[in-house]
């Protein structure tokens, strides 16, 4: 099971354009906020003290949830590819059970979602600390990590509900476009 999980992780991270496009939905929401929405939202929230920091943290939370959904869906695409190419039938010939094979796909997707959330978190905290002097209360970091891990697991479960009914990679791309949007 660990070997199959490692295989899925390697296949995901070796596909650099795939990694970029799985983060694209999250990056677009981040850039839209910076370029278009930030000034109008801050002017609407003038009466709230420290509105810059509040809105920045709000955006970080929303973007991380988008990251969890899009990256786990993209990584579960390997399961759809393996079904379509009938590679999964080869895995059934091993001593792994159907449950273990499915869990390896889910575990690799959860790890990918978690790693990508941490990457996006670091990018956003870095940007906002430079532009808005946002300071992260570092004692909250363990809670952020736990929430990122939980949201990755939850996103995998939700995405697996969709993946179970998809047998063609083209269909998954259409769903991925909708979810990413």
Write out the chain's pLDDT in tens, 181 residues: 899 999 999 999 999 988 888 888 888 888 888 888 777 777 777 787 777 788 888 889 999 999 999 999 999 999 999 998 988 888 888 888 999 999 999 999 999 999 999 999 999 999 999 988 888 888 999 999 999 999 999 999 999 998 988 888 888 888 887 877 7
What pLDDT is stored for residue 158 in this prediction? 95
The Cα–Cα gap between 83 and 88 comes to: 6
What pLDDT is stored for residue 166 in this prediction? 87
Alpha helices in 33-97, H assignment, sequence order:
38-44, 51-84, 87-92
Cβ–Cβ under 8 Å, residues 115 and 75: no
Residue 153 lies in a domain: yes
Residue 78 lies in a domain: yes
Residue 36 lies in a domain: no
Residue 39 lies in a domain: no
The Cα–Cα gap between 65 and 1 comes to: 27
What pLDDT is stored for residue 36 in this prediction? 83
Which domain does 112 fall in, by range?
Answer: 2-13+23-30+50-180
Residue 90 lies in a domain: yes
Q: Tell me which residue of 23, 17, 1, 35 sits closest to 112, measured CA to CA.
A: 23
Residue 145 lies in a domain: yes
Residue 44 lies in a domain: no
Residue 18 lies in a domain: no
């Amino acid at each position: 099971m660990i070997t199959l999980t490692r295989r899925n992780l390697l296949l995901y991270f070796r596909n650099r354009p795939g990694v970029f496009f799985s983060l694209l939905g999250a990056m677009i929401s981040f850039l839209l906020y910076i370029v278009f929405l930030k000034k109008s939202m801050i002017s609407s929230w003038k009466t709230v003290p420290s509105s810059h920091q509040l809105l920045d943290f709000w955006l970080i939370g929303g973007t991380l949830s988008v990251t969890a959904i899009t990256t786990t869906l993209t990584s579960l695409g390997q399961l759809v590819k393996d079904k379509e190419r009938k590679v999964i039938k080869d895995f059934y010939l091993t001593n792994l059970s159907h449950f273990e094979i499915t869990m390896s796909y889910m575990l690799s997707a959860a790890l990918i979602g978690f790693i990508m959330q941490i990457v996006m978190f670091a990018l956003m905290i870095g940007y906002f600390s430079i532009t808005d002097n946002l300071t992260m209360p570092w004692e909250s970091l363990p809670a952020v990590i736990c929430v990122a891990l939980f949201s990755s697991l939850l996103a995998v479960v939700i995405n697996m509900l969709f993946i179970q009914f998809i047998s063609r990679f083209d269909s998954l791309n259409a769903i991925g476009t909708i979810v990413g949007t």
